[in-house]
Amino acid sequence: MRPTSGITLGGRFQLTSRIAIGGMGEVWRAKDQILGRIVAIKVLKEEYTGDPGFLQRFRAEARHTALLNHVGIANVFDYGEEDGSAYLVMELVPGQPLSSILEHEQVLSPDRTLSIISQTARALAPAHAQGLVHRDIKPGNLLITPDFRVKITDFGIARLADQVPLTQTGQVMGTAQYLAPEQATGQTATGASDIYSLGIIGYECLTGHRPFSGESQIAIALAQVNDAPPPLPESLPTPIRALLMSMLAKDPKNRPADAIKLAEAAEAIRAGDIATAHAAVPGMLLFESATGPITAPTDIATAPTGIVTSPYGREARSTSTSALPVIGAAAAGAAAVGLPPKVEIRWPVPMPWPPNAAWIRPTSTTRTSMKKRSTRSKSRRGRNAARGRGRSSR
């Protein structure tokens, strides 16, 4: 059954207008004819209803969200399957996703960024307490209401720690730009994985760009595993930079201990109480030691953002010089963020999945370009060695 205005699902939910179309389905505004309230209904696309894997994940979103009761998580009211359709009845959240806000505003103030981090962390805390990891925290899954409240959505690929995962062994699910290193390498996702993803969001809010980019999904995932994030602009207060870098530590053990501690630290920084922030997230001190001690409270509300003016007349995001000492800066930076040795990711054959939950896999183009880069690198090394032999003979 194709969703259209006027039809009724489950004998009670009358569709009135379509809100959005995604890779996996459509979201409709509907009226609950029994309770009289307005709800949102996500209807799975027809081409996916015959796929047991898609149906299983769709049902999982209903089950996972039903386990949670928090003001920061969009409620799920009902689930149904009817005439070849599957649908999810959810709370209709006024506002827009953070991804739309960032597309329009590009950069948010430190105060707003810390508020988003603290609210999201507090909403994740009860999920993590029940062993439920979201696994796809990204701006598109954070709804911001007109009064600046955060609502987390889409627990479709979330996983309970004590359950068999919905994906096959070795498969990677999530969105590459926000994927934690342990997820990219096929390790078990934990609450610390969600904290890392939230750190990527915080970085993007403050600078207008994500810390890792690449020409393909696999290139981005490899950067998440192997590369240190570019330093945040020195114009940002040190406590904020320290908190974000602790969230982006490669080793999960070096990130904030849990979502509640992260929320406490973010709220303390907003209030100028740096000592409380340090107590909540001691890992901040690793990064602050490289920039010098904080001698006075920071006015977060008036702190500048990470945007700098480009000499080419366009807005550019700052990649200011690292505050780490010049000698041994690379090694010190790697140690601070807990960088592991270089890692090669072996990607399995993926199952199809809509773009909002990107599968990461190498393509023939990726492999060809990597081979070309390797050939060019060897060629350069050969030319440099030849020059060196020429100089020594003279």
Q: Which of 36, 45, 332, 345 is nearest to 183 (CA)?
A: 345
Q: Do 46 and 84 form a contact (C-beta atoms < 8 A)?
A: yes
What's the CA angle centered on 55, arms 130 and 185, to 5 degrees?
A: 60
- Neighbouring CB atoms inside 10 A of 56's CB total 10
Strand order in the sheet with 85-91: 8-9, 13-21, 25-32, 38-44, 85-91, 76-82
Q: How far apart are CA 217 and CA 350, in angstroms?
A: 13
Q: How far apart are CA 36 and CA 112, in angstroms?
A: 35
Task: Confirm whether 136 is a catalytic residue.
Answer: yes
What's the CA angle centered on 120, arms 282 and 208, to 5 degrees?
A: 85
Q: Do 174 and 141 form a contact (C-beta atoms < 8 A)?
A: no
At 350 the three-state DSSP class reads coil
Q: How far apart are CA 30 and CA 8, in angstroms?
A: 9
Task: Classify residue 61 by burial, with Cβ atoms within 10 Å: 0-12, 13-18, 19+.
Answer: buried
DSSP letter (8 states) at residue 214: -
Task: Classify residue 350 by burial, with Cβ atoms within 10 Å: 0-12, 13-18, 19+.
Answer: middle
Residue 186, C-beta contacts closer than 8 angstroms, at least 6 positions apart: 170, 171, 172, 345
Q: Which residue has the tokens 């030691």?
A: 289
Concatenated DSSP letters of 31-71: EETTT--EEEEEEE-HHHHT-HHHHHHHHHHHHHHHT---T
Q: Which of 343, 361, 356, 363 is nearest to 135 (CA)?
A: 356
Q: Which of 265, 222, 276 is nearest to 240 (CA)?
A: 265
Q: How far apart are CA 282 and CA 273, in angstroms?
A: 14
- Residue of 32, 51, 78, 136 with catalytic role: 136
Positions marked catalytic: 136
